C-alpha cells in the first residue's frame, strides 16, 4: 500500500485516513485547510522560486532593481514633496525619510498587485490540475519579501553615504514589521485575486486602490502630521505601523508607540483572515467562473 | 492500493451555483454512479459535452460537486493537459521540477526520476534552454515525459495521448500501456476508440451527464457506436413531385449491409437508392459525392463513366445498390450528395448532403495506432513487403 508511504505527499484534503479521500460538496463557512497547505509546502517553495526566476529573467541589472525602483521614485518625491511642498520629515533628510517609506510601500503595493493578477494569469493551470490554490496569490507575497530583504540590505550602505547609520538592535525588529505588511498584503491580495478572477474589472480598479492607499499611509509625509486624536484610528491602516516602525528602526526617528504598531498588526491579521477565508469560499466555484 | 468507488448520485452543475434548483439549471452530471476496482483501467466514453471532462475534474478535485459523493482510495494524479504548469521563461530542467511538483510529485521523487524523464523526452541537449525556444514537438515531449512518470495510485487521464508526431504518439501509447500494466488504476477519457479498446478493461458510456452503460469495454464501445440514431437518420425520404425525368424516393446508407450512420474505419459501405420515373427507362444514371467536414469532396462515383448494368425492359421504378466496399476514409463526419438522371450529363434530381455519417477510428492493424489523419485525406490499405 504505497499511499501510506510517508515520502509521498500528494495534495490531499479532508481525508478519512491518509489514503482515503472523500470528495463531498462544501457548504457554509469555509475551512482554511492549513493541514493541506502544510503538506504541500514544497509546491509553495517551487512557486516562490519560479516567481523569482521569472522576474529577473532577461534583465541586465537583475536583483538591483528592487532598490533602483524605489530610489527612482525617491528622487521624484524628494523634489516634489520635499523641496516644493516642504513636507516635514521627522528631523531626518527628506530623501532618506521617503526612501525608507517607499521601500516598505513598494513591497506592499507590488505584492498586492502581483497577488491580484496571479490567479487570472494561472487560470489555465487551475482548471487542469488540483493543488492548494491559496498558494497562487501567496507565492508573490513571499517572493516579494525576499526582494524587500535585499532592498533593505542594499539601502543601508546608501543611507550610510548620508551619514545615517542605523543601530543594530532596532534593525532586528524589521523582519517582524515586514511580516505584518506581508500579512496585510496576503489578505488583501488573496481577496482581490479571487474577485479579479470573477470580475476582471478589478484589474483596472486595483491601481487606483493602491495609489489611494499610498496617500492614506505615511509614505511621503510623517504620521506626526495627523492630528493626535486620530492617530490610533489612522493606525487601522497596517502600513502606518509598518512604515513608522521601519523609520524608527532604520533612521532612528521617534518610536511610533506600542499601541499604534499593535493596532496596525491586529488590523493586518484581520485582513489576512478575511482575505483567506473569502478566497477559500470563492475557491468552490473558481474553475467555473474563471 | 488504488481504487475509486464513486457512488455519484448527482454532481456538479455548470455555471452559477445557487441554492434554488430552477428548471433552467443544466446538470453537467447526474445519476452517474460507478465503481472502479483496484488496478483496473477504466474507460469513459461519450460525445463532446456528455460530461466526461466534468467527471474527471470532479474526481481530481479541480471542480467541486454541487451534490453527491466520491470515495477515492490512494494517491490521485491528474493528466488533463500536457504541460500543466510549464512556464515559457524557465529552462527545461526547471520546468520538469515545476510541472512535476504541480502534478503532485515531491522534490525527491522528481530528482529520482529526473534521468528517466529526460531520457524519455529526448531533449537532454536543451535542458538548460528556456522552453520558449523549444519547438512544439520538443515541448510536448518533455511535458508528456514529466506526466508519464508521475507516481500515483490512480491516474486520471484525458486525451493526453493526442500529442506530437506519430512516432511519439506510439511512445506515449506504449508508456500508457506500461503504466496500466504496473497495476495502477487508470481512468481514461478519449475519443480514440482504438486507444480505449487497447488500454481499458471496463468502461462506461456517458450521455448528457448520465451513465447509460457500464461494463466490458467492447460492449460499451459497441453500444456507443450503435446508439446515435437520434442525431440523424440513415434513411432519407424524398418528396417526389411529378416532373420530368426520374426522381429518387428514398436513399439509405448501409454499413456492413445494415442501415447505419456511424461506421468504423475499414467497414464495408453501401448506398441504396430507390427511384421512380414517369418515362420508363433502361439505364438510370446515378452518382454520389462524399464530402468531408471541411467541405472537400473526397470520394465520388457515377455509372455514366463506367460500364453499367441496364434493365432489359424499361422500368418506372426500382432500387439501385451502390457497393462502395471498404472506404479508406479517415475518422470524421461526412455527407453524401446524390445525383439521379436519365441521360449522361442530365441530372433530373440532385440531393445535396442528403445523408450524413461518421467514421470512427478503429485499430485496423492491431497496433493501437490509426493512420495519420494529418498526412492525407484518405488512408490506403497497403501491403508492405521487405526484401534484400
pLDDT digits (tens, 9 = 90+) for A106-142: 999 999 999 999 999 998 889 889 999 999 999 999 9
Q: Is B73 helix (H, G, I), strand (E, B) or coil?
A: strand
The pLDDT of residue A124 = 86
**Domain stop point among B202, B226, B250:** B226
- Mutation site for B-interface testing, chosen from A7, A58, A130 by largest number of B Cβ within 10 Å: A130
Say yes or no: B284 and B249 in one domain.
yes
What is d(CA B180, CA B174) in angstroms, rounded to the nearest whole number? 10
Contact state of A46 with B78 under an 8 Å Cβ cutoff = no
Residues of A in contact with B72 (CB under 8 A): 20-23
Say yes or no: B175 and B246 in one domain.
no
The pLDDT of residue B242 = 59
Residues of A in contact with B76 (CB under 8 A): 10, 21
CA-based nearest distance B193→chain A, Å: 23
**Domain stop point among B226, B245, B275:** B226
- Give buried/exposed letters for B208-219 (b at 16+ CB in 10 A, else e): ebebbbbeebee
Average pLDDT, chain B: 83
Residues of B in contact with A24 (CB under 8 A): 65, 69
The pLDDT of residue B161 = 58
Q: A3 at the B interface (CB within 8 A)?
A: yes
What is d(CA A191, CA A272) in angstroms, rounded to the nearest whole number? 9
pLDDT digits (tens, 9 = 90+) for A187-228: 999 999 999 998 888 989 999 999 999 999 999 999 999 998
A148 is written with which cell numbers? Answer: 524587500
Residue of A nearest to B156 (CA): A129
Contact state of A53 with B17 under an 8 Å Cβ cutoff = no
pLDDT surpassing 60 at residue A8: no
Contact state of A285 with B64 under an 8 Å Cβ cutoff = yes
Residue of A nearest to B76 (CA): A10
Residue A140: CB partners within 8 Å, gap ≥ 6?
A51, A111, A114, A115, A118, A189
pLDDT surpassing 60 at residue B29: yes
CA-based nearest distance B80→chain A, Å: 6
What is d(CA B269, CA B301) in angstroms, rounded to the nearest whole number? 13
More confident residue, B167 or B365: B365
Among candidates A3, A7, A285 on the partner chain, residue whose Cβ is nearest the Cβ of B153 = A3
Q: What is the CATH number of the domain that holds B143?
A: 3.40.50.300
- Give buried/exposed letters for A126-150 (b at 16+ CB in 10 A, else e): bbbbbbbbbbbbbbbbbbbbebbee
Q: Tell me whether residue A229 is in a domain.
A: yes
Complete edge-to-edge strand list for the sheet that includes strand B33-36: A20-23, B70-73, B3-7, B33-36
Q: Tell me whether residue B85 is in a domain.
A: yes
User: How many domains does chain A divide into?
Assistant: 1
Q: Which domain holds residue B291?
A: 235-360
Q: Tell me whether residue A225 is in a domain.
A: yes
Q: Tell me whether residue B379 is in a domain.
A: no
Q: Tell me whether residue A37 is in a domain.
A: yes
**Domain stop point among B189, B209, B226:** B226
Among candidates A19, A25, A288 on the partner chain, residue whose Cβ is nearest the Cβ of B74 = A19
Residues of B in contact with A21 (CB under 8 A): 71-73, 76
B282 is written with which cell numbers? Answer: 433502361
The pLDDT of residue B244 = 67
Among candidates A2, A20, A25 on the partner chain, residue whose Cβ is nearest the Cβ of B64 = A25
Given pLDDT bands bounded at 50, 70 and 90, which one contains residue A13? very low
Say yes or no: B134 and B254 in one domain.
no
The pLDDT of residue B160 = 60
Q: Tell me whether residue B373 is in a domain.
A: no
Q: Tell me whether residue A18 is in a domain.
A: no
Q: Which domain holds residue A230?
A: 31-289
Q: Tell me whether residue A165 is in a domain.
A: yes
Q: Is B42 helix (H, G, I), strand (E, B) or coil?
A: strand
Q: Tell me whether residue A233 is in a domain.
A: yes
Q: Tell me whether residue A21 is in a domain.
A: no
Q: What φ, ψ does residue B139 adopt, rounded to 5°?
A: -60, -50
Contact state of B89 with A54 under an 8 Å Cβ cutoff = yes
Contact state of A3 with B1 under an 8 Å Cβ cutoff = yes
Q: What is the mean pLDDT of residues A234-258?
A: 93
Q: Tell me whether residue B384 is in a domain.
A: no
Say yes or no: B258 and B201 in one domain.
no
Average pLDDT, chain A: 88
Q: A2 at the B interface (CB within 8 A)?
A: yes
Among candidates B57, B71, B102 on the partner chain, residue whose Cβ is nearest the Cβ of A43 = B102
Given pLDDT bands bounded at 50, 70 and 90, which one contains residue B158? confident
Give just the sign of the alpha carbon dihedral B216, B219, B223, B225. Answer: positive
Q: Is B34 helix (H, G, I), strand (E, B) or coil?
A: strand
Given pLDDT bands bounded at 50, 70 and 90, which one contains residue A271? very high
Residues of B in contact with A33 (CB under 8 A): none
Among candidates B62, B64, B90 on the partner chain, residue whose Cβ is nearest the Cβ of A50 = B90
Among candidates B14, B64, B108 on the partner chain, residue whose Cβ is nearest the Cβ of A284 = B64
Q: What are the beta bridge partners of residue B258?
A: B255
The pLDDT of residue A21 = 85
Confirm if B48 and B16 have CB atoms less than 8 A apart: no
Among candidates A2, A11, A287 on the partner chain, residue whose Cβ is nearest the Cβ of B104 = A11
Residue of B nearest to A58 (CA): B89
Q: What is the mean pLDDT of residues B221-230?
A: 64
The pLDDT of residue B187 = 92
Among A270, A278, A118, residue whose Cα is nearest residue A196: A118
Give CB contacts under 8 A, 24+ apart, made by B112-119: B113/B149, B113/B151, B116/B149, B117/B142, B117/B145, B117/B146, B117/B148, B117/B149, B118/B145
Q: What is the CATH number of the domain that holds B288?
A: 2.70.50.60
User: How many domains does chain B divide into?
Assistant: 2
Say yes or no: B254 and B210 in one domain.
no
Say yes or no: B157 and B16 in one domain.
yes
What is the distance of C-alpha B89 from the center of its chain? 34
CA-based nearest distance B215→chain A, Å: 24
Residue of B nearest to A128 (CA): B80
Out of A67-76, A237-246, B357-366, give the one with best mean pLDDT. A237-246
Reported as type and span, the H/E element at residue A277 is helix A258-283
Confirm if A100 and A155 have CB atoms less than 8 A apart: yes
**Cell 496571479 belongs to which residue?**
A118
What is d(CA B276, CA B47) in angstroms, rounded to the nearest whole number? 39
Q: Tell me whether residue B381 is in a domain.
A: no
Among A218, A93, A267, A110, residue whose Cα is nearest residue A164: A93
Amino acid at each position: 500500500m504505497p499511499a501510506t508511504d510517508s515520502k509521498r505527499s500528494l495534495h490531499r484534503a479532508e481525508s478519512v485516513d491518509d489514503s482515503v479521500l472523500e470528495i463531498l460538496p462544501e457548504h457554509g463557512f469555509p475551512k482554511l485547510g492549513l493541514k493541506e497547505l502544510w503538506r504541500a509546502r514544497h509546491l509553495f517553495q517551487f512557486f516562490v522560486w519560479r516567481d523569482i526566476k521569472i522576474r529577473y529573467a532577461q534583465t541586465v541589472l537583475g536583483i538591483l532593481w528592487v532598490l533602483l525602483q524605489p530610489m527612482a521614485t525617491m528622487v521624484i518625491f524628494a523634489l516634489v514633496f520635499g523641496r516644493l511642498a516642504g513636507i516635514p520629515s521627522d528631523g531626518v533628510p527628506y530623501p532618506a525619510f521617503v526612501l525608507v517609506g517607499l521601500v516598505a510601500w513598494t513591497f506592499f503595493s507590488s505584492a498586492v498587485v502581483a497577488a491580484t493578477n496571479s490567479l487570472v494569469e494561472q487560470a489555465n493551470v487551475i482548471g487542469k490540475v488540483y493543488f492548494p490554490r491559496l498558494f497562487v496569490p501567496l507565492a508573490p507575497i513571499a517572493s516579494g519579501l525576499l526582494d524587500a530583504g535585499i532592498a533593505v540590505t542594499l539601502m543601508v550602505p546608501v543611507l550610510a553615504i548620508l551619514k545615517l547609520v542605523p543601530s543594530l538592535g532596532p534593525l532586528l525588529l524589521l523582519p517582524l514589521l515586514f511580516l505584518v505588511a506581508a500579512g496585510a498584503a496576503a489578505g488583501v491580495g488573496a481577496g482581490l485575486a479571487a474577485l479579479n478572477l470573477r470580475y476582471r474589472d478589478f484589474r483596472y480598479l486595483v491601481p487606483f486602490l493602491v495609489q489611494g492607499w499610498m496617500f492614506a499611509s505615511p509614505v511621503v509625509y510623517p504620521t506626526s502630521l495627523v492630528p493626535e486624536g486620530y492617530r490610533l484610528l489612522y493606525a487601522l491602516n497596517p502600513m502606518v505601523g509598518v512604515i513608522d516602525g521601519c523609520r524608527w528602526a532604520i533612521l532612528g526617528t521617534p518610536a511610533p508607540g506600542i499601541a499604534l504598531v499593535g493596532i496596525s498588526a491586529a488590523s493586518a491579521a484581520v485582513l489576512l483572515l478575511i482575505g483567506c477565508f473569502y478566497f477559500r469560499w470563492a475557491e468552490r466555484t473558481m474553475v467555473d467562473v474563471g | 492500493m488504488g481504487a475509486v468507488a464513486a457512488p455519484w448520485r448527482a454532481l456538479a452543475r455548470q455555471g452559477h451555483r445557487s441554492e434554488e434548483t430552477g428548471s433552467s439549471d443544466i446538470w453537467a452530471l447526474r445519476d452517474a454512479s460507478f465503481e472502479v476496482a483496484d488496478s483496473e483501467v477504466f474507460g469513459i466514453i461519450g460525445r463532446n459535452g456528455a460530461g466526461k471532462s466534468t467527471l474527471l475534474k470532479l474526481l481530481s478535485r479541480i471542480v467541486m460537486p454541487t451534490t453527491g459523493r466520491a470515495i477515492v482510495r490512494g494517491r490521485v494524479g491528474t493528466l488533463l493537459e500536457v504541460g500543466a504548469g510549464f512556464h515559457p521563461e524557465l529552462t527545461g530542467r526547471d520546468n520538469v521540477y515545476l510541472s512535476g511538483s504541480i502534478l503532485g510529485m515531491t522534490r525527491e521523487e522528481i530528482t529520482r526520476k529526473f534521468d528517466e524523464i529526460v531520457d524519455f523526452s529526448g531533449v537532454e541537449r536543451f535542458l538548460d534552454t528556456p522552453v520558449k525556444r523549444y519547438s512544439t514537438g520538443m515541448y510536448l515531449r518533455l511535458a508528456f515525459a514529466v506526466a508519464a512518470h508521475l507516481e500515483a495510485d490512480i491516474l486520471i487521464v484525458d486525451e493526453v495521448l493526442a500529442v506530437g508526431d506519430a512516432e511519439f504518439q506510439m511512445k506515449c501509447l506504449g508508456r500508457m500501456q506500461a503504466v496500466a500494466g504496473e497495476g495502477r488504476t487508470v481512468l481514461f477519457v478519449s475519443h480514440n476508440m482504438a486507444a480505449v479498446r487497447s488500454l481499458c478493461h471496463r468502461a462506461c458510456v456517458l450521455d448528457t451527464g448520465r451513465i447509460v452503460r457500464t461494463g466490458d469495454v467492447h460492449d460499451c464501445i459497441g453500444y456507443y457506436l450503435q446508439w446515435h440514431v437520434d442525431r440523424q437518420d440513415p434513411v432519407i425520404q424524398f418528396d417526389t413531385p411529378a416532373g420530368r425525368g426520374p426522381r429518387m424516393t428514398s436513399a439509405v446508407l448501409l454499413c456492413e449491409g445494415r442501415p447505419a450512420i456511424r461506421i468504423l474505419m475499414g467497414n464495408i459501405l453501401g448506398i441504396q437508392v430507390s427511384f421512380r420515373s414517369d418515362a420508363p427507362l433502361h439505364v438510370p444514371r446515378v452518382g454520389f459525392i462524399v464530402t468531408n467536414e471541411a467541405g472537400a469532396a473526397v470520394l465520388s462515383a457515377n455509372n455514366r463513366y463506367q460500364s453499367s448494368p441496364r434493365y432489359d425492359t424499361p422500368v418506372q421504378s426500382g432500387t439501385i445498390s451502390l457497393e462502395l466496399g471498404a472506404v479508406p476514409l479517415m475518422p470524421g463526419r461526412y455527407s453524401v450528395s446524390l445525383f439521379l438522371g436519365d441521360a449522361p450529363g442530365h441530372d433530373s434530381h440532385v440531393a445535396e448532403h442528403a445523408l450524413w455519417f461518421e467514421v470512427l477510428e478503429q485499430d485496423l492493424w492491431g497496433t493501437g495506432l490509426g493512420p495519420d489523419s494529418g498526412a492525407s485525406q484518405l488512408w490506403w490499405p497497403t501491403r508492405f513487403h521487405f526484401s534484400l
